Amino acid sequence: MKTDQKKWVYLLVLSIIWGTSYILIKKGLQGFTPIQLGAVRVLLAALFLGVIGFRSLTKLTPYQWKWIAVSGFLGSFFPVFLFAYAQTEIDSGVTAVLNSMVPLFTLFIGRFLFGTAIRPLQLIGVLFGFIGAVGLILVGAQIHADQNYSYALLILLAALGYACNANIIKAKLQGASPLAIATGNFAVITLPALIILPLSGFFDTAVIEGPYFWSSLGYLTLLCVMSTCIAKIMFNRLIQMADPVFSVSVTYLIPIVGLMWGVADGESFVLQQLLAALFILLGVYLVTQKKERLFFFSTKTKKRRSLRNAS
């Protein structure tokens, strides 16, 4: 399979996996507090990745380890707790929508911190996606007036961490294997998670004997294996195959999957949300165009017409 085709396959698979993660977090919160959920999620992912990727760590250089540590905290450790706390107040589908801010953050962080060029069409695509995301948020706020939307700031902070992580992997870890990056990320953040878990009351009898303990642990295990581990490796590979903005444009498709799961779980969905989702898909189309082309009208065509008019 060619690289162009492969990156689209990765994008679609990741959107399904990560779009499902929000409903799994929602189910996990039935039996655990946000801090318990975050710590367990980190440790389960570290265990799984350690088994399959331990040998890959020997190929990492000290320079790469420095950036893997930063990547681990910004792209994994802090977001798992931020999302868990946010979903105590905001529906899973709305949380998935808010995460659509990642490409916008990625674009500007790449430009101002890493010197990445911004193509005009990319900027237009990100803005279209952003408009669609805002539309989904506003409609969601009307439907769920009882929800505390100040918690949306937690999701935006997590999105900012994801954006920094995408640029770090592309700019500083291009030579490291995706498995080594993912395994190294969780190796670094295992110690703070080990400290947090017993302090969170996870081992209290009331928690273990609670009605949702085992079902929530099952949801978390599925979340860790699919969304945290396998998807993390795939995402690292996708960043290496494509540019960071294309890679994080998966967050434009995640809301659609997340909303579908939310509806299946009894959350509301209206026609206005569908229209906003179409804006998001248009944004994906524009962001992923290689040439400066808008609806098959390329800049080369414009130049030819300008020269013809000038003559």
Among 155-159, 257-261, 289-293, the range scoring the smallest mean pLDDT is 289-293
**Is residue 261, in this structure, part of any structural domain at all?**
yes
pLDDT given at position 74: 95
**Is residue 310, in this structure, part of any structural domain at all?**
no
**Is residue 298, in this structure, part of any structural domain at all?**
no
**Is residue 103, in this structure, part of any structural domain at all?**
yes
pLDDT given at position 225: 87
Q: What are phi and psi of 14, to 5 degrees?
A: -65, -35
pLDDT given at position 197: 95
**Is residue 303, in this structure, part of any structural domain at all?**
no
* Per-residue pLDDT band at 290 (split at 50, 70, 90): low
pLDDT (mean) for 123-135:
82
pLDDT (mean) for 120-147:
79
- Whether 228 shows a pLDDT value over 50: the answer reads yes
Whole domain around residue 136: which residue ranges? Answer: 3-290
The DSSP secondary-structure symbol of 298 reads E
**Is residue 200, in this structure, part of any structural domain at all?**
yes
Strand segments, DSSP code E, in the chain are 293-294, 297-298
**What's the mean per-residue pLDDT of the chain?**
83
SS3 assignment, position 98:
helix
Q: What is the pTM of this model?
A: 0.80
The more confidently predicted of residues 118 and 34 is 34
Return all residues near 290 (Cβ < 8 A) that are at least 6 apart.
Answer: none
* Per-residue pLDDT band at 297 (split at 50, 70, 90): very low
Q: HSE (CB half, 13 Å, CA atoms) of 286?
A: 24
**Is residue 301, in this structure, part of any structural domain at all?**
no
pLDDT (mean) for 281-291:
71
pLDDT (mean) for 89-117:
79
Q: Which amino acid is at 137?
A: I
**Is residue 308, in this structure, part of any structural domain at all?**
no
Number of domains forming the structure of the chain: 1
pLDDT given at position 135: 82
Nearest to 234 by CA among 15, 63, 23, 84: 15
